[in-house]
Amino acid sequence: MLLIVFLISKKWCAMSIVSSTSGIISKSVEGRFAGKTGQLTRQLNKIALKEMKGDKMMYTFSKAAPEDLKRLTSKNIIDSHKRVTWTNPKDNKVYHILEEGRKNGKIQVRILDKDGAYVKDAELEPKTIVIFDQFFSPRGVTHGEMMEAFVKRFNPFATVERLEHKKGLYEQIKYRGKLPINLEVKRFKELEQQMENGKKVDYISVSEDFPVIIDKVLNESGKVQKEFVSNSYYLKDIKPVLENISSKGTRILMSAGNDVNKAARVVNDRLAVEGVEGVGSLVNGKIAKDSCSRNSIFTQHYDCRNYNAVPVKDENGKILGINVTGTDSVDLPVNRKTKKLIGRNFGGTSYSTPKRVAQLSLCDMMEGIL
> What CATH number is attached to the domain comprising 352?
3.40.50
Adjacency order of strands within the sheet including 319-323: 310-313, 319-323, 332-333
25 inside domain: yes
361 inside domain: yes
198 inside domain: yes
pLDDT at 20: 31
Contact 43, 275 (CB under 8 A): no
pLDDT at 333: 95
**Burial of 11: CB neighbours in 10 Å, binned 0-12, 13-18, 19+:** exposed
Contact 105, 126 (CB under 8 A): yes
Give the closest residue to 155 by CA, choosing from 61, 60, 44: 44
Q: Which domain holds residue 29?
A: 4-56+126-366
260 inside domain: yes
What are phi and psi for residue 94, nearest 5 degrees? -95, 135
97 inside domain: no
What are phi and psi for residue 184, nearest 5 degrees? -60, -45
Question: From residue 267, how far is each of 241, 257, 298 by CA, in Å?
Answer: 20, 7, 8
pTM of the model: 0.90
247 inside domain: yes
87 inside domain: no
Question: From residue 341, how far is each of 42, 80, 132, 286, 305 by CA, in Å?
Answer: 33, 19, 22, 27, 17
Residue-level pLDDT, tens digit, the chain, 370 residues? 334 333 333 333 233 444 333 222 333 444 556 677 888 898 999 999 888 776 556 789 999 999 999 999 998 899 999 999 999 999 999 999 999 999 999 999 999 999 999 999 999 999 999 999 999 888 899 999 999 999 999 999 999 999 999 888 888 888 887 788 889 999 999 999 999 999 999 999 999 888 899 888 888 777 888 888 888 878 888 999 999 999 999 999 999 999 999 998 999 999 999 899 999 999 988 899 999 998 788 899 999 999 999 999 988 899 999 999 998 899 999 999 999 999 999 999 999 999 999 999 999 999 999 9
- Backbone angle region of 111, left / alpha / beta, with phi > 0 → left and psi within -120 to 50 → alpha: beta
What residues are paired with 160 via a beta bridge? 129
Contact 274, 310 (CB under 8 A): no
323 inside domain: yes
For the chain, the domain total comes to 1
pLDDT at 15: 38
What is the C-alpha separation between 29 and 221, in angstroms, rounded?
13
Q: What is the DSSP string of 153-175?
A: HH-TTSEEEEEESS-HHHHHHHS
